[in-house]
Structure 1
Amino acid sequence: MVVTFVSKAGQIATIPLNEQRTVTADWYTTNCLPKVITELRKINPERRIILHQDNASSHTAQRTRQYLTEENVELLDHPPHSPDLSPNDFFTFPKIKNRLVKEYFEKQ
């Protein structure tokens, strides 16, 4: 499994989750968010950061919310049980899938 972050300018980070582990708030706030926030601030240190994530437990955990508040990152809420698909379902995930398939077949 991989966790990927994109902005309107393109891909920010892709972070692998090794050994089929579960994404937890601890892993998310220790391994993912610091890398993403650092990369976004490199691009434009003066710009505010607004993060859109789904309602996975690692995203909604108190630890994650506290970390984002400390880093001055705003959240764009994702409605619970929304029938609408995320824009990632149409734009990001197909690109990631194609890249993974290409890399897989290049190794064969």
Structure 2
Amino acid sequence: MLLENRKTVNSEWYTTICLPEIFKGIRKNSLQRRIIRHHDNVSRHMSTETTRILEGQKIELTDHPPYSPDLAPNYFYLFPRVKNKLRGERFPCREEAAEALKMYCMF
């Protein structure tokens, strides 16, 4: 799920590349029928296409307040742990680094 160099994450990439990977991981690892996902208010998460796809997959979204800096726990919890796990590792290419990151960030 790597983004090509000098490309930006937009609604098209999010709905055609990212979300299918997320769905695959959720369906594989979840025995629950009800899936709830949290999105912030960035445009790719709020686009009509994203909403349509999530409704089609029967994914519920939780509400997100317009601005809340304390709702970014990845910066305070996940990323430091991943950094510590991967400290000292060297990867010959971006793909191997991304695979190592995925090991610690399963959807």
1:94 correspondence with 2:80: yes
> Unaligned regions of 5+ residues in structure 2, if any?
93-107
Q: Point out the structure with the larger strand share.
A: 1
Q: Point out the structure with the larger helix share.
A: 2
TM-score (ref. length: structure 1): 0.70
* Structure 1 residues 67 and 39, CA gap change in structure 2 (3 angstroms): same
Question: Which segment drifts farther, 39-48 or 25-34?
Answer: 39-48
* Structure 1 residues 75 and 21, CA gap change in structure 2 (3 angstroms): same
1:62 correspondence with 2:48: yes
Can you list the C-alpha shifts for 1:40-69, whole angstroms capped at 9, x where unaligned? Answer: 111235431111122111111111111100
Q: What is the root-mean-square deviation of aligned Cα atoms in Å?
A: 2.2
Where 1:78 maps in the other structure, the secondary structure is coil
Can you list the C-alpha shifts for 1:4-53, whole angstroms capped at 9, x where unaligned? Answer: xxxxxxxxxxx321212111111001001111111111123543111112
Residue equivalent to 1:21: 7
Structure showing greater relative contact order (alpha-carbon pairs closer than 8 Å, 6 or more residues apart): 2
Aligned-residue sequence identity (percent) comes to 46
Can you list the C-alpha shifts for 1:56-88, whole angstroms capped at 9, x where unaligned? Answer: 111111111111001100111221122424222
1:36 correspondence with 2:11: no
Instruction: Tell me the amino acid that sits aligned with residue 53 of structure 1.
Output: H
Where 2:60 maps in the other structure, the secondary structure is strand
TM-score (ref. length: structure 2): 0.71
Report the Cα distance in structure 1 between the residues aligned to 2:86 and 2:69, rounded to whole angstroms: 28
Instruction: Please report how far the alpha carbon of residue 107 of structure 1 lies from its aligned counterpart in structure 2 after TM superposition.
Output: 4.8
- Give the number of equivalent residue pairs: 92
